[in-house]
Amino acid sequence: MNERLSATFSRYKDKFTNAELKKGVLYIVSTPIGNIEDISFRAINVLEKADLIACEDTRNTNFLLTQYGIRNKTVSYYSHVESEKSDMLIRELNSGKTIALVSDAGTPGISDPGNLLVSKCIQENIDVFSVPGCSSLIHALVLSGMPANKFYFQGFLPQKKGRQTALIQLSRIKMTLIIFESPFRIYKTLNEIHQHLGNREIALCRELTKKFEQIVRGNVKYILTQQLKTKGEFVIIVNNN
């Protein structure tokens, strides 16, 4: 366990992490998007006391748990097994188990698995609680300096079919746009934004909350001239107001 985190956690553990969890309930738990310290005491309590943690990648989640000295049972819950595992988790919840749902980083259900399980819980009259925390889209939006009173979240663009249609639709939405992109397609996407939306002001964000966090601001043409480190997922904020 990280010694500094251990000292901080121990100091406040009795004050903040004594609440008992409800049985047969799904907790949607937000986790850090980069900086390991960006987690709430409530989230730690839920992850420690839940009967089962459903996670996108058990290796990533177990690393996080280790930082806080938590040992708990985890089960993989990623996009390719979402339907199958949702039915299993519903059975566990109906049997009285308490389950925490996490993604690799940020808030489950935001471009990550989670929506299907929440929908099934609602159909089954199973209580769902959200433990709020980090979200890369909100972090990037407030750092961009662009209007945030209204914004449109696209998430990842379609990789092939429907991609051009999506970009045309985005060009018609006159507000701040938020797009997720992988490092492998970032230059392609920037060129397509220029083609369909024009030379808009954008903020390109990567490695958010981490040591090498980077936010590049400027119009699309300017950013295309920069040597971008293609590591980690990007959040693109587009001023389409």
CATH number attached to the domain at 3-131: 3.40.1010.10
Where do runs of H (alpha helix) occur along the chain? Answer: 3-16, 41-49, 58-67, 82-94, 115-123, 136-144, 163-171, 186-197, 220-224
Backbone angle region of 145, left / alpha / beta, with phi > 0 → left and psi within -120 to 50 → alpha: left
In whole angstroms, give the CA distance from residue 117 to residue 35. 27
Number of other CB atoms surrounding residue 61 within 10 Å: 26
Phi then psi for residue 71, to 5 deg, are -120, 115
What averages of pLDDT result for each successive group of 10 residues across the chain (241 residues)?
A: 66 68 96 93 93 95 92 92 92 97 94 92 97 94 96 95 96 97 94 97 95 94 89 94 93
Domain residue spans of the chain: 3-131, 136-239
H-run or E-run covering 212: none
Rg (CA), the chain: 20
Inter-helix orientation angle 115-123/82-94, to 10°: 40
Question: In terms of CATH, what superfamily is 136-239?
Answer: Tetrapyrrole methylase, C-terminal domain (3.30.950.10)
Identify which of 36, 94, 66, 39 has the alpha carbon closest to the alpha carbon of residue 210: 36
Q: Say what the pLDDT of residue 104 is.
A: 93
User: CA–CA distance from 99 to each of 12, 52, 116, 161, 216 (Å)?
Assistant: 24, 5, 15, 36, 39
In whole angstroms, give the CA distance from residue 32 to residue 19. 22
State whether residue 57 is helix, strand or coil.
coil
Judging by DSSP bridges, how do beta strands 74-76 and 52-55 pair with one another? Answer: parallel
Count, residues in the chain: 241
Q: Say what the pLDDT of residue 223 is.
A: 95
Q: Say what the pLDDT of residue 111 is.
A: 86
pTM as predicted:
0.89
Q: Say what the pLDDT of residue 38 is.
A: 94
Q: In DSSP terms, which residues pair with 216 in a beta bridge?
A: 204
What is the DSSP secondary structure assignment for residue 145, as one 8-state letter?
A: T
Q: Say what the pLDDT of residue 2 is.
A: 64
State whether residue 205 is helix, strand or coil.
strand
Phi then psi for residue 116, to 5 deg, are -65, -45
Are the C-beta atoms of 140 and 208 separated by less than 8 Å? yes
In whole angstroms, give the CA distance from residue 213 to residue 233. 12
